[in-house]
Structure 1
Amino acid sequence: MKNRLIEALPPAEASRLAPHMVVVDMERGRTAHEAGDPVEHVLFPLSGVISLMTLLENGGAIECGMVGNEGAVGLPAALRPRTALVRAVVQAPTRAIRVSASVMQEVWPHDQRLRALVDLNSEALYIQAAQSVACNASHSVEERLCRWLLSFQDRLPGQVLRLTQEYLADMMGVQRTTITAVARHLQARGAIRYRRGQIEVVDRQALELCACECYGVVRRACGHGAPGEGPGLNGESSGPS
């Protein structure tokens, strides 16, 4: 298990962080940080998924970003002390490298590569949030659900996703009955198989055909696309400038 940001650091820069790295295991449902709290640690997932949630006045929360082993949570705190703007929630059991934000702030001014990775990670999260706004306003619930399932599966091995319909409805800001109807339709088309608390992706290609273009945009921004499709998080732009 590896984190692609950590792997992208040159050996000399990685060695500065190595003594301060602690591997932690976080269960599903754990809050890594709450909106408004000081960001005390930066998390570099090795496996699993952490969702970034925008909070609503009615107590609800809608996902605005998703982080797996391609990125980090709380990385802007490497530049200077930060207050979290969103809630970070573990959505699948996650193993991560944890580094104190204060240590990152000491190392950051001296490491050019680390500074570049902070910028790339911030750009990828910004694209996710911006694309979510456009997606929620322009695309059907079915298109959005397919996009979300594909993005979730990109960050997890295997095809069985442990997700309830209630959870998906909360994530997407829609009624549970709407998710139920869409899930039944996708199951009838042979794209997924749903059992209580579990969704199995049976035909990924069918999901990709049903998903909106936002999936490809975010996939490339997070470095999951094929070579030549975008900058990703490897520190190099592989597409045309």
Structure 2
Amino acid sequence: MLDFTNDQFANHLLAVVPKHELATLAPHLKLLQLRSGQLLSDSGETVKHVYFPTTAIVSMVFLMADGATAEVAAVGNEGVIGVPVLMGGATMPNRIEVRSGGYAYAMNAQVFKREFEQHGPLHKLMLLYIQALLTQIAQNALCNRHHHIVKQVSTWLLLTHDRLKADELAVTQQLIATMLGVRREGVTGAAGKLQDAGLISLRRGHITVLDREGLEERACECYGIVKREFRRLLLASATEAEDCTSTSSGRPFYRRESMDLARFAAGAEA
């Protein structure tokens, strides 16, 4: 059985898949090391694999005709990337790029779709996850249109901080600008204000979070909305899985600390 209690191998969505279904998926899961900037799937390409990040962060990115890009959603150890294949779409209109290098489980997309179509607990879990992912996509669109750049950058840093479980983030201001679809100068100005407030520290290629609570105060409501939705949907599914799937001792088949949604789904409530 895969060990999701080790941070290097922990994916919280897999951690709440019922034991009998996880046993079916496990032989098809291959742990890969992904590098920053790696293109996993280009726009219009057939989706061949789904990815369950553990320490990596993977982005859904739209590329415009003029070469501009913007991040639609990001997926870390709370989820899976490639879910349109479950809805019957063989291709995706956006690119799938590795934003932050690390590890992820890869699985043949058609095998995963076959298990999804069994309409068991995995089917319900994935529908709940897709609902949470759609909330993130919608909130990103709203945030980019209506919120000040300082709020956008604060929210982006918090979500990255949650997923990487480290105060020092190996990200550049250009990367943030590319993901947000804004000018680099805007991100530089916003990051400078956050540094002047003592919330972050900047050095070439790295941003260190110094005051998380202060950063949360600068973030827009989008951060809390996305976190609460993941918490509401995925923890509800985890509770149901624990109730219906247990060992003879009455304990859940996974260790509760292995589904550390406190880092991503609970955020400041953790």
What's the TM-score once normalised by structure 2's chain length?
0.81
1:59 equivalenced with 2:61 (yes/no): no
2:147 aligned to which of 135, 139, 142: 139
Paired positions, count = 232
Q: Is the 8 A contact 1:52 1:65 kept in 2?
A: yes
1:166 equivalenced with 2:168 (yes/no): no
1:114 aligned to which of 95, 99, 122: 122
1:28 aligned to which of 30, 36, 53: 36
Q: Is the 8 A contact 1:49 1:66 kept in 2?
A: yes
Q: Is the 8 A contact 2:200 2:210 kept in 1?
A: yes
Question: What residue number does 2:233 align with?
Answer: 231
Q: 1:182 to 1:6 in 2, by over 3 A?
A: same
Question: What residue number does 1:226 align with?
Answer: none
Deviation at 1:200, TM superposition (A): 0.3
Question: What residue number does 1:188 align with?
Answer: 196
Query: 3-state DSSP class of the match of 2:220?
Result: coil
2:79 aligned to which of 49, 71, 74: 71
- Unmatched tracts of structure 2, length 5 or more: 1-8, 241-270
Q: 1:50 to 1:233 in 2, by over 3 A?
A: farther
Q: Is the 8 A contact 2:150 2:219 kept in 1?
A: yes
- Unmatched tracts of structure 1, length 5 or more: 224-229
Q: Is the 8 A contact 2:12 2:78 kept in 1?
A: yes
Look up the equivalent residue of 2:237 and give its one-letter code: G
Q: Is the 8 A contact 2:18 2:122 kept in 1?
A: no
Q: 1:17 to 1:111 in 2, by over 3 A?
A: farther
Question: What residue number does 2:48 align with?
Answer: 40
Query: 3-state DSSP class of the match of 2:201?
Result: strand
What RMSD in Å do the two structures reach over aligned CA positions? 1.8
1:13 aligned to which of 16, 21, 26: 21
Q: 1:176 to 1:4 in 2, by over 3 A?
A: same
Deviation at 1:110, TM superposition (A): 2.2
Question: What residue number does 2:111 align with?
Answer: 103
Q: 1:233 to 1:73 in 2, by over 3 A?
A: farther
Query: 3-state DSSP class of the match of 1:28?
Result: coil
Greater Cα shift, 167-176 or 156-165: 167-176
Look up the equivalent residue of 1:130 and give its one-letter code: A
- Give the whole-Å Cα distance in 2 for the aligned partners of 1:44 and 1:7: 11
Deviation at 1:116, TM superposition (A): 1.1
Q: Deviations over 1:61-113 (max 9, x none)?
A: 10110101110011232454521122111111121111101212322222511
Question: What residue number does 2:223 align with?
Answer: 215
Q: 1:205 to 1:19 in 2, by over 3 A?
A: same
- Give the whole-Å Cα distance in 2 for the aligned partners of 1:21 and 1:77: 17
- Give the whole-Å Cα distance in 2 for the aligned partners of 1:49 and 1:6: 16
Name whichever structure is richer in helix by fraction. 2
Deviation at 1:120, TM superposition (A): 1.7
Runs of 4+ aligned structure 1 residues displaced above 3 Å come to 78-81
Q: Is the 8 A contact 1:220 1:232 kept in 2?
A: no
Q: 1:191 to 1:77 in 2, by over 3 A?
A: same
What's the TM-score once normalised by structure 1's chain length?
0.90
Query: 3-state DSSP class of the match of 1:29?
Result: coil
Q: 1:79 to 1:11 in 2, by over 3 A?
A: farther
